[in-house]
Amino acid sequence: MAQVLKTPSHSLKEFRILPGYTPPDGNAPNVSLKTKLCRNGDGYLYLHAPFVSAAMQAVTGGEMAIALAQLGGIGILPVSQPVDEQCAKISQVKRFKAGFQTNILTLAPDQPIAEIVEVIRQTGYTTFPVTESGQFHDKLIGILTDKDFDERRDLDCRVATRMKTDVQAGTDINDLSAANQLMIRYGRGFLPILSKEGILQTVVFKKDLDKHLRHPSESIDGKKRLLVGAAISTHPEDRDRVQALIEHEVDVLIIDASDGHTEYQREMIQFIKEHTVAPVIGGNVVTAEGFNFLAEAGADAIKVGMGIGSGCTTQEVKATGRGQGTTLMEIGAARDQWQKDHDAYLPIIADGGIAGPAEMSVGLALGADAIMMGNFFARYTESQGNLVRNAAGEVVKEYWMEGSMRAHNMRRYAQTKENFFEEGISGYVPHVGSIHDKLPTIIQMLRATLATAGCRTIDELHENAVLEMQSYTALMDSQIHDIDQRIL
């Protein structure tokens, strides 16, 4: 006979966090939201803010991934696109900002200016080193910028006749701050670094330094480039995708599956572990058994949640799923046990059904190290959904689930063309403006929650938070009540 669990499943919305003692240096500005996204070699891949954008067509493209990494989180590029498009978006993020750059476009002295005009039009780049052969690692002989020629007059001229040859460069510098200081001293926007023989080694750009100063908490890799993740499916054909993503220097792979407690998932994790050193996040699971299964398989973090995404119809059509509060309580306890047994901490990512700061705080307090959101990020200008006007004249953003007809991501649900049914809908969410304007306020709200709970870090929140389940009437009191909000 089937087993029936008698305690009901709970949503994150049913919990509140009790205040704890806040010491004089424990207020919001002193709270750190730095968090572990996943294991990475012998250590962890850290984020400065616990935000992960969903691997969904409507949510994460290059623009969202760049903006979110600048703000301390990470974007995950969806698997439901051709592999070359997914790789091109990784390159877009990786090229966006770097410390020392070694792969920028270099010109040869005999190229006609007409060719350079076309390059500028296609790439948007405006500053180019010129080397003897046109190859990056060769003798530097000049610099050409878009200010050095006039398109109306110089199209037939050669680069050599327009480039500047009085180049100020650094020699054999491998410390980024020393390179930046020299660039500032020269008052230039660009500093080439040469070997003693005059061979171009690397370059640094002032615009990269400016971007870093504007976003001190950005998520960056060892080469000071923004972090980005990419989703893969468990299907065998995605083994080639894994190789391509790794070649494009993706920072983390995420297996995108609605049900992660499967043999397919174990096989994909093992393939990744055997063939790469990249961290891999497994999921989604909602039970302790599912967590232990993926932990045993070698996942570097585990993503949890089923049937609770904002536009998800999984529970309606399949009756499978679980309240995210209960999932996190059970899996948080399984993670603690795993840590005791294996002396190793495995991060948990809460995925789905989280669209406001209260749910984010409760999710983190119940053991999540990071929060993956679709609906929440779809609302920002930087998401991939189109801006449209609805019947009431409001500007809204399109948001469609990966299991919807529109996304046609049948592999996520182990479906084929013949047996396809929807597990999610297409709809609209309000457009709330740029993530750059709005996310800092949400970050401040989370910090304030931790301060009130008497915790200075997410680790402390996991250890010390006291949560309480609310009665229906207590929840009514926790919302706006007994006040007329209509304009008189």
Question: At 27, which amino acid appears?
Answer: N
Catalytic member of 322, 412, 447, 456: 412
Residues for the chain: how many in total?
Answer: 488
- Least CB distance from residue 234 to ligand IMP, whole Å? 14
Specify the residue for token string 């399949």. 318
Question: At 312, which amino acid appears?
Answer: C
User: Do residues 259 and 270 touch, judged by C-beta distance below 8 A?
Assistant: no
Identify which range of 41-49, 189-197, 262-270, 310-318 contacts ligand IMP by CB under 6 A: 310-318
- The angle at the Cα of 32, spanning 29 to 35, to the nearest 5 degrees, equals 160
- Chain residues 39-98 in contact with ligand IMP, contact rule CB under 6 A: 54, 56
Identify which range of 100-108, 116-124, 396-404, 431-439 contacts ligand IMP by CB under 6 A: 396-404
Size of the site for ligand IMP (CB under 6 A): 21
Q: What are the structure tokens assigned to 133, written together?
A: 């052969």
Catalytic member of 312, 322, 411, 447: 312
What is the CB-side half-sphere exposure of residue 248 using CA atoms within 13 A?
26
d(CA 22, CA 372): 28
User: Residue 423 interacts with ligand IMP (CB under 6 A)?
Assistant: yes
Among 349, 284, 400, 385, CA closest to 51: 349
User: Residue 312 interacts with ligand IMP (CB under 6 A)?
Assistant: yes
From residue 222 to residue 241, what is the string marking binding to ligand IMP with x (rule CB under 6 A)? Answer: --------------------
Instruction: Select from 127, 233, 375, 449 the one that contacts ligand IMP (CB under 6 A).
Output: 375
Instruction: Select from 72, 78, 347, 374 the one that contacts ligand IMP (CB under 6 A).
Output: 374
Measured from the CB atom, the residue of 176 and 228 that comes closer to ligand IMP is 228
- Chain residues 376-395 in contact with ligand IMP, contact rule CB under 6 A: 376
Question: At 230, which amino acid appears?
Answer: A
Among 166, 159, 162, CA closest to 109: 159
Measured from the CB atom, the residue of 22 and 314 that comes closer to ligand IMP is 314
Going by C-beta distance under 8 Å and a sequence separation of 6 or more, which residues neighbour residue 45? 36, 37, 38, 39, 227, 251, 252, 279
d(CA 372, CA 351): 5
Q: Is residue 322 annotated as part of the catalytic site, yes or no?
A: no
Instruction: Select from 351, 359, 382, 398 the one that contacts ligand IMP (CB under 6 A).
Output: 351
Q: Is residue 412 annotated as part of the catalytic site, yes or no?
A: yes
**Which residues are catalytically annotated?**
312, 412
Please give the residue ranges that form the binding site for ligand IMP (CB under 6 A): 54, 56, 284, 309-310, 312, 314, 351-353, 372-376, 401-404, 423-424
